[in-house]
């Protein structure tokens, strides 16, 4: 199932999928540590947020 997360202002903030068996929602968007969305999986070294987890990309 496709899930849209909408802000109180009516703006779609992200789109994800819902696993009907586990109830887990997956949002395939990467964010930098300032909260800015990235274009796909980042290649530059640094810390990023993906699916609610902090991920370190190394050189």
d(CA 28, CA 55): 13
Based on the structure, what is the number of domains in the chain? Answer: 1
The reported pLDDT for the residue numbered 37 is 87
C-alpha 30: how far from chain center: 5
As a residue count, the chain comes to 59
Structural domain boundaries enclosing 10: 2-57
1-59 per-position pLDDT tens digit: 888 878 899 887 777 888 899 988 887 889 999 988 898 899 999 999 988 889 999 98
């Amino acid at each position: 199932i496709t899930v849209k997360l909408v802000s109180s202002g009516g703006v779609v903030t992200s789109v994800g999928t819902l696993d009907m068996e586990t109830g887990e929602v997956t949002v395939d968007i990467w964010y930098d540590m300032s909260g800015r969305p990235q274009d796909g999986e980042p290649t530059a070294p640094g810390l990023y947020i993906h699916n609610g987890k902090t991920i370190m990309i190394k050189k």
